[in-house]
Every structure is written in structure tokens, then in C-alpha cells.
Amino acid sequence: MTAESEFSIVHFSDAHLFGDPGHVIYGVQPARALKAAIASINAIRPRPDLCIYTGDAVSEQTEAAYRLFKAQMETVGPPVHYAIGNHDDRGSLRRHLLNQGQPGGDPYYYCLHRSGWRLVVLDTSRPGELWGSMEEEQLQWLDRLLRERQPTLVFMHHHPLSIGLSWMDALMLKNADPLLKILEGSQCVEAVFFGHIHFECHLHYAGIHFMSVPAISFQFGEGPWSEKSVSLPGGYRLISLGEQRLRTVVHRLTADELRRA
């Protein structure tokens, strides 16, 4: 396996922008954190092939917040693909980030094929709710898709497995069992990547890796003994794919990267 035959993905999530670029939440200025993350991603060599952003572009569903997010994301070097988060609005995402003139509010899910891998992006959002769910139509689509055996990665916003943190597990994917059954039965899903929980974790279920990524913005504590928010920097995950092989590492933004933003 040579470096040239590898395929790499940046997974990042949860920027939580406000319309005011100077807005501060939990001691973090989200717009500045996103700028630092983008500069860090753009400095990766060799350049990643694509990025997948798994939701919560904004904290407030305003035109100003989406315009600010779009302006920053247009500076990302690799192409970016999006998933919907619980703070997002499907129509606004389609209008601002996908440039659709008359966007609808139906679930936004799709599949990409790259270098022998299948990348599936799901919509776990439930309009008006913080917790997630998936409608039967999307589950049936996924089941049909995965019947064709091909190495697969799945990206989504909400966590489908309990992380042992009661207040956050109350906001997880509510109807996770049908999804997990489909993923397990396919025998071709290598890993599931998600955001939402604002910290890094790595779980293992039915031979599948389940991995979260730190938020770009503010971070949550990882245990019931922790404060709700903690003073860790944001970060992203770099995923490297090859023939029958997956490697991944999380990069936390450094003090220098945040200072230069």
C-alpha cells in the first residue's frame, strides 16, 4: 500500500455559530474556533480528499448565522459534504450550503463512492427536537443500499449507542435499534462516525467501530462527575483509508492555531 493509494477524510462537527461573529458561549468564540479549525485542516499534507461535516452548523437558526458559517466554509480546501444536526434547519442548509433555490424540508441523506469505499451520510434530525430519530423510509433506503457488499463508513449527527452520560443519552438517536440491526446485518460497515456529544469517544458494537469527534466549538465533560462544559480545545478527526484498512486520529487545535485565528 503506497501513500498515493490512500484516501483521506476529515470529519468535523458542531461549530455552533451565531450571527454575531464575536459571540461567546461557554468561554468559547465559535466563529474564531471554526476559523482556526479550517486553517488547520487546510494545512494538512498531503491534502485530504474530502471533508464530512456532521451537523450543528449554527446555534441560532438565523440568516446571519448561516451566512457566517457559509462564508467560513467556503475557505475549506477539500470539498465538504454535510449532515443535518439537531440545531440545523434543513431548508436553510440546502439554501445556504447546497445553493438550492427552492429548498424543501424533507430528510437529507445520501451516499458517496470513493476509492472502493462507500460513504453513507444519514439524517438523524427531528425538527424542533434535540434528540434524534430516523423515519422508516430512510431506514428502508439504508437496508437496500447495504445489501450490496462494499466496505462502508457511516456518518451521522446523533449517537446511536449509549455513552453512559444520562443527560446526553436522553438526546441520542431514539429509534437506534432498527438502525443497529441494519448495520450489523450488512456485515460491510467498518465504522460509524458521529458528532453531537462534544467530546471524543470510541465504542465497539457487533464488530463495528463507533467514533465521535470533539466539537469545533465548546466541549462537554465526558462523565457524570464532570462539569457540563470543560476547557478543552476543539478538534477534528482525520480518517485514512486503504485496501482493507482504516486508520484514524483526532487532532485537537493547538494554542498556536487558536491564537492565529
| The pLDDT of residue 75 | 98
Q: For CA atoms 25, 163, 83, 245, give the dihedral sign.
A: positive
CA torsion 96→83→13→97, rounded to 10°? -10
DSSP-derived pairing of the beta strands 202-205 and 208-212: antiparallel
Class level of CATH domain 8-260: alpha beta
Q: How far is CA 146 from CA 13, 36, 138, 140, 167, in A?
A: 25, 37, 12, 10, 32
| The pLDDT of residue 1 | 33
**pTM for this prediction:** 0.95
> Consecutive 10-residue runs of the chain (261 residues): their mean pLDDT?
68 98 96 98 97 97 95 98 96 92 90 94 96 97 96 97 95 97 96 98 96 97 80 96 87 96 87
| The pLDDT of residue 5 | 63
Query: What phi-psi label fits residue 236: left (phi over 0), alpha (psi between -120 and 50 degrees) or beta?
Result: beta
**Residue 186: in which H helix or E strand, if any?**
helix 176-186
| The pLDDT of residue 144 | 97
Domain ranges of the chain: 8-260
